[in-house]
Every structure is written in C-alpha cells, then in structure tokens.
A and B are shown apart, each in its own frame.
Chain A
C-alpha cells in the first residue's frame, strides 16, 4: 500500500510482503540520493510533500499500474524530510507472474510519480547554497 515515511525505507520488508507463490518475478526499484547534480557536489537532500494529496496520488498510481499491466501487486513508498546521500528516497516493488510486465510496470510507475505526485526535492550543495530541483508542472 502506498506510503510516505520519515524513516529509512525498509526494502527487505517490502520484498517479503510482495513475494507470492503465483508470481515468478519481483522487481524492486530504489531511487537513491546522489552526491552530485549538474556538476555541483550535493551534501544532502530534503523532500517535502502535500501529504494527503501525495498519498492519494501514489495510491492512484498503484491502482493504475494494476489496471495497465499483468501484475499481481505494486507498492510505492516515498521518504520525506532529510535523506542522507546514498539512501533510498523512493521504493517501487512490483510482483508479477512473469518479469516483462513487472519491469514495465515499475518503470511506468516511477515515470508517472515524477510527473504527477506533489513531492518536492531540495538539494543542499557541498560548497554552500541550496536549490529546489527543477520539476514538472502538475497538469489536471
């Protein structure tokens, strides 16, 4: 089930929950925080969300992934607040009978997340200064 968390994402637990005897594939995607952006060194990142709307948007993505692809489950967890470099900020777990649909659904869900979920990422640069990452305008 879609979730927002301020804790470290426990992707082992997500994988355990996703495993099913009727599924031959579980795909885990982790988005992890990177130490550089457009040539600048990034010291830390922070995420904020319009939480009720973001939670609903993630749940909608999970439902829509199940409708579009031959998969058994899709779970998306996004972390908020400060995230140290190298740790997951987002996890997408998809289970399916066969791997092709699991890969496709995972990629689709991440692409849509970046376009449709009200979450914002700020980078704090190693040399000082900070900036909101250039994003995508939400469209109805």
Chain B
C-alpha cells in the first residue's frame, strides 16, 4: 500500500521537498512508515526526537495502523502566534 508523507518547516527544508510517496507492505503501522522515511531521508535523523507524526490530520502513536492512501505528516515543534 502507499502513503504520502508531508514535510513541514525544518523537515521540509531538510528533505528538500514538501511531500513524497512511499510504498510499504499491507498491514504496515506508523512505525513502519517512520522506518521507511528515515531510511530514505537520513538528513532528518537529528530532527526525529522533536517530530510529532500525524496520520490523516490526527496525531498518531507509533503502533497505529496505516490505511492505503494515508497522509502522514511530520510536524516539527510548533511556534504559531
């Protein structure tokens, strides 16, 4: 199945693009998506401890299931206002 990853702020700049599409085995979880992203984007390594992950617009724990076509967003620490 496929998912789209969205990069924001520092993550977008480090990745060099706003989004990318990944293919992972059926039954994959958020942790599998993260592993796939980390493997393709090692330049994000030192950001990971600070990133939150949202799936389809909702913060998701590592063990949450992914659906085909999911939107996985990497969210650096927020600084609105």
Residues of A within 8 A of B (CB): 31, 47-50, 52-54, 56, 78, 89-90, 110, 113-122, 132-140
A-B contact count (CB 8 A): 83
Q: Which residues of B sit under 8 angstroms from A136, Cβ to Cβ?
A: 77-79
Is B59 a contact of A138 with CB atoms below 8 Å? Answer: yes
In the complex, B80 has a CB within 8 A of chain A: yes
Is A114 a contact of B79 with CB atoms below 8 Å? Answer: yes
Choice from B9, B61, B77 contacting A48 with Cβ under 8 Å: B9
Is A140 a contact of B59 with CB atoms below 8 Å? Answer: yes
In the complex, B5 has a CB within 8 A of chain A: no
Residues of B within 8 A of A (CB): 6, 8-10, 50, 52, 54, 57-61, 73, 75-81
Choice from A78, A139, A140 contacting B80 with Cβ under 8 Å: A78
Choice from B8, B10, B61, B81 contacting A50 with Cβ under 8 Å: B8
Is B61 a contact of A140 with CB atoms below 8 Å? Answer: yes
**Residue of B61, B75, B79 most packed against chain A (CB within 10 A):** B79
Choice from A52, A118, A121, A132 contacting B75 with Cβ under 8 Å: A118
Known contacts A138-B75, A139-B52; A121 and B6 CB within 8 A of each other:
no
